[in-house]
Chains A and B, each alone.
Chain A
Amino acid sequence: MVLTALFVIPLVVAIAAVIGRYRRTLEWVVAAGGVGVLVCAILLLIQVVTAGPVRLLDGFLEVDSLCAFTILTVALVSCTASIYSVGYMRYVLGNSPESQARLHRYHALQALFILTMLVSPALSNLGVYLIGIELTTIVSTFLVSFERAHESLEAGWKYIVIVSAGISLALLGTILLYFAGTPVLGSVYSLDWRTVHAAAPQLDARMVKVVFILILIGYGTKVGLAPMHTWLPDAHSEAPSPVSALLSGALLNTAMFGVLRFYTITAASVGEAYPQALLIIVGLLSMAIASFAIIQQRDEKRLFAYSSVEHMGIIAVGFGFGGTLGVFGGLLHMLNHSLAKSLLFYGAGNVLRKYQTKEIGRITGIIRVMPVTGIVWMLGGLAILGAPPFSLFLSELAILAAGVGRRLWLPSLIFLGLILIVFVAFFSYLNTMVFGRPPERLSWGELNGWTVAPLVLSFIPILWLGFYIPHPVQHVLDQVSELLLGGVSP
């Protein structure tokens, strides 16, 4: 029931955007749709945690705790991005009649994008999930290149080609997994992940190892893990800001979900050590590449995009360190990163519209020009760097503690070192942009209420979770961790 509502709401918004005529009505429908999705996702999570997995269409769609958690992170960003897009697109498109049609097209695409991200994790068949992920790419390509400048078209083209190539590797992995299952399950069986997971201990270990590598590269492309991350900075920086937030905060998690599903299958087949080692290597590599790009960055949105590569690396390392603490930290970090990174992209959007540039050197004195954006942005920036008292500090600390606890000294040391490098570089950029004397002849004041509210809305949970993790959230994270640590929930 809740699950149906969750999928119907974005569909209704998309239809409203196509057939609607009035701009104001559409804006309210979009915002209400965002809030509706979030409410449904929270209710769904409560239902899954208290009463077990929810199924729809004869098990074609199945939501367990990991899936409900991923959906929640998507819904959180969808909610704030929907609200933000209302205010932001007014500035991008202006008031001409021609822009009216483009506005409707934008909102239709955005709602469809949200829909594909909500549906994909719920698809229980591994083959169908893969197509769900590919559909998210196709819809979002048009959002990335929405502004149709040379750069945004280039970003869109790179995005669709690189990610489709990556997904085809994931397809190869999925088919090899099916082949590996035929001696155990017969030549015709359903590629339901639960079926495969149950048969995992009998699968040919050599084959499963190849499958995990292909999956890690394939879905890793979409997650933004190095070395297939190259589309990410372009797409994130050229897309309209609400889309950047959705890409970074929501899309990357839905792809990480696929990696985690295959992680459980691989761990059940060949033991945890093998997939964990790969996750640590890929994670640290992503963090290293991102930190070098951050040090010499000139474009504010690319700065945040590379920071996403870094944080996906952190999450991968968290699951790689494993154990209760590592998995817990990885999951919490997925949630925290969604909130904090979307906040930063909203701020970046406000700054881009106000200053008409993305160049870090030409942006100064935000705190005087746009006080609310400036303050929340600064705090959000500190949060993404892992400074206390914000929630990202907790999750990064948990991951580091997991590594030290398992006596993985070298990876833990590299992990800490890379975080510190990013901290210093990123912080100095943030400092020059937020403080200092603003350029002459800039009209002071925020853009409008729609573009400020999402910043504050995203910031509250970051601060709150930093001081204290409420019991229900703790309970959810425990359940998901259990699922990832071996057992499959009933």
Chain B
Amino acid sequence: MATVLLNLMIVAILLSALVILGTRWLRVYIHAYAFQSLTLSLLTGLLAVQTGHGVLYAVAVLTYLVRGLIVPLILLRITKGPVMEQEMNLFLKVPSSLLIGISLVICAYLVSLRLLGRQGNPFVIGAVAVALALVLIGFFVLSCRSQAVTHVLALLIVENGIFLGSVVLAPGMPLIVELVVLFDILVTVIAMSVMVQIMAIRLGTTSAAELQRLTG
């Protein structure tokens, strides 16, 4: 029963990462990210019950607070300001982005299979595959979309992937490391939001595609 639930959560996490490839509305990205973080924290809680690592309960709660609640709220706030609400001029259109995203998922699965071996726990293989897929999708989004807020979300998806990998592979990871990573996410998001707002006010755009003056 627990395994089925865990696998379902993994799938939900993967799908919510693909949402960002399937639409161009920034607010949808943010909601998908919040949903992904919520699922991630539930998964952590379930793993805490299963493995008996008491630390994971604390990690689950903090993950929800920071990744699921505070960060999405900050991002929703800045999209209310003078920031653009959707991706203009997609460098790659939605269907081709989705196709690339799916091939990245397959690639991640093959790597995970190779790294952990065929006789490994199927849940762990699947989870690591999803973790790697999130990292790859994050980097892909970072390179093919141009809105500053999308870049922030892409980095956050990479972070979520790494977090998923760490709870599955190394559930005993000391609390201090998890704490500082969460703190780091919070500070980075705040710093980036401030930058986005300054850019919106001073330059009148938040599209990184407009930032092309420095070359050579």
Name A residues whose Cβ lies closer than 8 Å to a Cβ of B.
125, 127-128, 131, 134-135, 138, 141-142, 145, 148, 150-151, 153-158, 160-161, 164-165, 168, 171-172, 175-176, 178-179, 182, 186-191, 233-234, 237-238, 293, 296-299, 302
Contact = CB atoms under 8 A, between A and B. Distances in A.
A90 B105 CA distance: 54
Contacts of B45: none
B214 interface: yes
B162 A187 contact: no
A238 B172 contact: no
B214 A182 contact: no
A175 B167 CA distance: 10
Contacts of B4: none
B171 to A, nearest CB: 7
Given A134-B188, A158-B211, A187-B171, A145 B177 contact: no
B151 A153 contact: no
B27 to A, nearest CB: 21
Contact of B169 (A154, A156, A175): A175
A178 B214 contact: no
A57 to B, nearest CB: 12
17 contacts: A127-B181, A128-B180, A134-B188, A138-B191, A148-B202, A150-B203, A153-B211, A154-B214, A157-B195, A157-B211, A164-B188, A168-B135, A178-B173, A187-B170, A188-B174, A189-B172, A297-B216
Given A125-B177, A138-B187, A150-B203, A160 B192 contact: yes
A443 B212 CA distance: 34
A359 to B, nearest CB: 12
A234 B172 contact: no
Interface string B177-204: 1001101100110011011001100110
Contacts of A191: 173-174, 177
A238 B211 CA distance: 14
Interface of B: 53, 55, 135, 139, 142, 148, 151, 155, 158-159, 162, 165-166, 169-174, 176-177, 180-181, 183-184, 187-188, 191-192, 194-195, 198-199, 202-203, 208, 211, 213-214, 216
Given A153-B198, A175-B169, A168 B213 contact: no
Contacts of A298: 216
Contacts of B199: 153, 157
A156 B174 CA distance: 33
Contact of B187 (A135, A190, A233): A135
Interface hub of B135, B183, B199 (most chain A Cβ within 10 A): B199
B165 A175 contact: yes
Contacts of B187: 134-135, 138
Contacts of A302: 216
B115 to A, nearest CB: 8
